[in-house]
Amino acid sequence: MEVSKGLTNQKERSKKGTMREESKPMTLSEVHHGAREEFLNEPLGKLIGRHATPAVASMLFMALYQIVDGMMVGRRLGPEALASVNILYPVFALLAGLGVMIGVGGNARIAVLLGAGENRRASRVLGLIVSLGVAIGALASLLTVALMPRILGVLGTTGGSLGMFAGEYLRGFVPFFVFILLTFILEQSVRNDGNPNLASAVMAGCALLNIGLDYVFLYTLNLGIIGASLASGISQSIGALIFGWYFIRKTLHKQSGLRFARPEATLRTFRTVAVNGSSEMFNSLAAGITTFLFNRMILTHVGALGVAAFTLVQYLLLVGMFVVMGIGNGTQPIFSYNHGAGKIHRVRGALWRVALLCFLVGTGVFALITWQIETVAGLFLPGQPEALALSLEVARTVRWAMFFMPLAMLGSMYFTAIEMASRSLMVAVARSLVLPVIGLLLFPVWWGPTGIWLTPVFAEGFAVLVAGGCLLAGTETKRSRHKEILMTADQRA
């Protein structure tokens, strides 16, 4: 019902916009209708619920398909195949990092421009980030094909079944890099255009298609691990095509709101997009580096079975991470629109509400891991008692990170949404690289394998302190500036 309502409202807004354009050019006062009016004036609780719920739903579907994908790989092909998926994560993190920089940085800029009533400039930024996504995706595919043996060698997967699985999985993904980037970029753009239900419906449909294709390729056609990567690539490509057609249709019919336009290829726009998305890009790249370090450390102290156990527990953490990412994606326009319009009290009101929501999510995932890890491990790796025991050991320690991870993630996303890139980058650097590296260098020396499992808890906990410090520093800076303005006004009086 909510999807139907969202689609109906969007159609009504589109019709109204078309009528305005036929009669006369839109004025600044008319721009305040539709999505902008909603973000700037509706009650925050209602607004957060309306936009976060479909975003969380779509991210949960994405988490579901990744979990089911891993489950099918583990059950069908065994622990080493499951470990190979995690071994390749640094490669996908590099691609995702570039996509995140363009998608998050560009869409944050688009939302700020829409909040300020500059629809035409927002559409030109959309044209820019789509062009960049296509170019980077195509280049990444070519480089991966050319350097694949060297990539697998650096990751330590040459030779043996682990290397075979990793090579096949990566080869299946290469043709779809462009579509994967475009899906990420355009999904958030559709949300910025005031149509969160459509974005969520498409992502949910892609996730369900991925699960169905996983079964067909792995079990019916017996394609091996390359079938899992083909299933993901095909489903993401369909999502990109649907989102692309959404904006093509709006452009052809000259509907109001966000649509494709000639790219704003200025140095200033490039810099704004890159700076806005720099923390998220660094977050992804650092996650790839730390995953590489984690894998190397686990292979040294525990072996390939340890990588499989750690991967299994990460799938459960993925549920919490994706819910928080959904909340961030859904509420990003709320922060950006109100920041662009100068409504700081609404930005702060949204922040504390979203922070509470994220903490509750972390608590729920902690409970899930505590009570259901044995059942979940049995679903992934049936008949593997050693892997099951190791997974339980990892989960008992890593689960505590869920009390901190949601708030640390929110800190970085919030600063990006209000275009405070330096603070967002500071949180990202601490959370994704500096603190994990410190933990991996020290804790395994002191406590062995247990030290490896403690590292995520340490990193997320201290990252929350960094985010809190950045937030307090920003508040104090604003207060000082306000006092200076008042003192200057008194002196002039």
For 43-88, the pLDDT digits (tens) are 787 888 887 888 888 788 778 777 888 888 888 888 788 888 878 8
Model pLDDT, residue 475: 56
Q: Which of 165-169, 403-407, 417-421 has the lowest mean pLDDT?
A: 417-421
Q: Which residues contact 366 (CB under 8 A, 6 or more apart)?
A: 399, 400, 402, 403
Residue 184 has pLDDT above 70, yes or no: yes
Confidence at residue 231, expressed as pLDDT on a 0 to 100 scale: 92
Per residue in 420-465, pLDDT tens?
777 887 888 888 889 999 999 999 999 999 999 999 999 999 999 9
Distance CA 431, CA 459 (A): 6
pLDDT-derived band of residue 113, with 50, 70 and 90 as boundaries?
A: confident
- What the block records as the tokens of 317 is 């953490």
pLDDT at 34 exceeding the cut of 90: no
Read off the tokens for 464. Answer: 């929350």
Tell whether the model's pLDDT for residue 488 goes beyond 50: no
Burial class of residue 23 (count of CB atoms within 10 Å of its CB; 0-12, 13-18, 19+): exposed
Q: For residues 329 and 188, is the Cβ–Cβ distance under 8 A?
A: yes
pLDDT at 15 over 50: no
Q: Rounded mean pLDDT of 183-194?
A: 86
Mean pLDDT of 142-160: 82
Q: Give the span between the Cα atoms of 401 and 405, in whole angstroms.
A: 6
Q: What is the pLDDT of residue 74?
A: 82
How confident is the model over 322-351, as a mean pLDDT? 82
Q: Name the average pLDDT for the chain.
A: 81
| Predicted TM-score of the model (pTM) | 0.68
d(CA 185, CA 104): 7
Place of tokens 């590292």: 455
CA atoms within 13 A on the CB side of 69: 29
Whole-angstrom distance, CA of residue 446 vs CA of residue 327: 37
Contact 23, 286 (CB under 8 A): no
Of the ranges 18-22, 297-301, 406-410, the best mean pLDDT one:
406-410
Nearest CA among 255, 286, 114 for reference residue 188: 114
Tally the residues of the chain.
Answer: 493
The predicted structure's pLDDT at residue 427: 87
Residue 26 has pLDDT above 80, yes or no: no
Number of DSSP helices (H) and strands (E) in the chain, helices first: 20, 0
Tell me: the pLDDT tens digits for 382-406?
A: 777 787 888 888 889 999 999 999 9
Choose from 128-137, 325-334, 370-379, 419-428 the range with maximum mean pLDDT: 128-137
- Positive or negative torsion for Cα 204, 207, 212, 215: negative
Alpha-carbon gap, residue 129 to 108, rounded angstroms: 12
Structure tokens belonging to residue 115: 């909040």
Q: Please give the pLDDT value at position 474.
A: 60
| Beta-carbon-side half-sphere exposure of residue 476 (alpha carbons within 13 Å) | 6
Q: What tens digit of pLDDT does each residue of 296-318 get?
A: 888 888 877 888 888 888 888 88
pLDDT digits (tens, 9 = 90+) for 209-256: 988 999 999 999 999 889 999 999 999 999 999 999 999 998 888 887
Query: At residue 366, does pLDDT exceed 90?
Result: yes
Q: Which residues of 389-428 are buried (b: 16+ CB within 10 A; e: fewer)?
A: ebbebbbebbbbbbbbbbbbbbbbbbbbbbbbbebbbbbb
Q: How far apart are CA 489 and CA 486, in angstroms?
A: 5
Average pLDDT over residues 268-286: 78
